[in-house]
Amino acid sequence: MRKHIVAGNWKMNNDLPQTELLITELLKQNKTSDAEVMIAPTFTNLWQAFESLRQESIEVIAQNMHFAENGAYTGEISASMLKSIGIETVILGHSERRAYFNETDESLAKKVDAALANDMRIIFCFGEELADRKSGNHEGIVESQIKNALFHLEADAFKNIVLAYEPVWAIGTGETASPEQAQDMHAFIRKTLADKYGNDVAESVSILYGGSVKPNNAKEIFGKPDVDGGLIGGAALKAEDFYAIVNAF
């Protein structure tokens, strides 16, 4: 059975005291679902978060990394640096990274390779913009994002890859893809994987939905057969809301 995963992307929110406070609040919540829970604080707070959650069943993950091992890349962080503080999973390809930091399918393919070379698990994000959806090209865009960044990999690599479909028009906008739109796209993504790698791989990869998932819509979205969890932005910053989403499974 595929893993259910709910991951909170904190983005550039929460300084150190706020991080500690939110973690304290998260630890007070009651988990009733089988979903794996992850949080992605900012780089400066990863170590503290990791230390606080060392004995807990919340995994601390990174929001990004560079593709080089080390070197003259001022301001960047490598996979081995993350690994050295215990971080095993990294989000790659978030639409904000693509839009504001010029990340491309090509640079993301290099990041994917670097993460896998360091035995890291990846949550790989992609999704169409509103204009693509309106023109009916949403599947074409998603297919090319996946193919360009991931289809050079061997089938075995997908043991360490989680996909996150995040329509750009639904991120932070309060607008959500309908459960049917999410299911249709997730089924299309799974078929794209099956065509290249076969059914066994396609059926084993968890595909998360991201885009204004909230306590009041999570159950319906997670109820769809090809939706295996969520990547959560805004609602991950409130412990009660985040766990209401975690417990929607």
Q: Does 232 bind ligand PEP (CB under 6 A)?
A: yes
Q: Does 183 bind ligand PEP (CB under 6 A)?
A: no
In this complex, which beta carbon is closest to ligand PEP, that of residue 9 or of residue 19?
9
By CB under 6 A, which span of 101-109, 110-118, 141-149, 211-219 interacts with ligand PEP? 211-219
Residues contacting residue 195 through CB under 8 Å, at least 6 positions apart: none
Strand-pairing partners, residue 109, are none
Q: Is 167 exposed, middle or buried (0-12, 13-18, 19+ CB in 10 A)?
A: buried
Enter the tokens of residue 70: 């080390």
Q: Does 167 bind ligand PEP (CB under 6 A)?
A: no
In this complex, which beta carbon is closest to ligand PEP, that of residue 161 or of residue 235?
235
Footprint of ligand PEP on 127-166 (CB under 6 A) = 166
DSSP result, 53-108: TTTSSEEE-BS---SSSSSS-TT---HHHHHHTT--EEEE--HHHHHHS---HHHH
Query: Which residue has the closest beta carbon to ligand PEP?
Result: 233
- Position among 62, 231, 239, 246 found at the interface with ligand PEP (CB under 6 A): 231
- Position among 45, 52, 212, 217 found at the interface with ligand PEP (CB under 6 A): 212
Catalytic residue at 166?
yes
Query: What are the two backbone dihedrals, phi and then psi, of residue 56, each rounded to the nearest 5 degrees?
Result: -110, 170
The Cα angle at residue 105 between residues 146 and 135, in degrees rounded to 5: 65
Q: How far is the CB of 38 from ligand PEP (least distance, A)?
A: 12
Helix axes 179-197, 138-150, angle to 10 degrees: 40
Q: Does 229 bind ligand PEP (CB under 6 A)?
A: no
Cα separation, 102 vs 9, in Å, equals 19
Q: Does 41 bind ligand PEP (CB under 6 A)?
A: no
Length of the chain counted residue by residue: 249
By CB under 6 A, which span of 58-66, 177-185, 195-203, 231-239 interacts with ligand PEP? 231-239
The residues that are catalytic are 94, 166
Can you give the binding site for ligand PEP, defined by CB under 6 A? 9, 166, 171-172, 210-213, 231-235
